[in-house]
Amino acid sequence: MRFGVAVFPGSNCDYDTYYVIEEILNKPVKFLHWEDRKIDVDCVVIPGGFSFGDYLRPGALASKTPLAEAIYDFAQKGGLV
């Protein structure tokens, strides 16, 4: 199974999540950046923390990115998130 770790501006724990998947689980992993429009992995991991820092309505800001739209479409098609 190939994993992708979602990265939004100001997010945290993305490197920690990447490390656990690659080094502990020994699975292939890549970063999915906020401007990405295509999901080419089997499972998307959205790390904890505050996306877009501690700004007002961070979820609303992140939801308007190309990556968020791609993750939504991926999940609607049965992809693991």
Report the alpha-carbon distance of residue 68 to residue 62 in Å, rounded: 7
Report the alpha-carbon distance of residue 32 to residue 35 in Å, rounded: 8
Q: What is the pLDDT of residue 22?
A: 98
Rounded to an integer, the average pLDDT of 17-42 is 97
Stretch (H or E) spanning 22 = none
- Using pLDDT thresholds of 50, 70 and 90, give the confidence band for residue 55: low
> Whole-prediction pTM value?
0.86
Assigned token pair, 58: 């961070």
Q: What is the pLDDT of residue 62?
A: 78
For the chain, which residues make up each domain, given as ranges?
Answer: 3-76
Rounded to an integer, the average pLDDT of 58-79 is 89
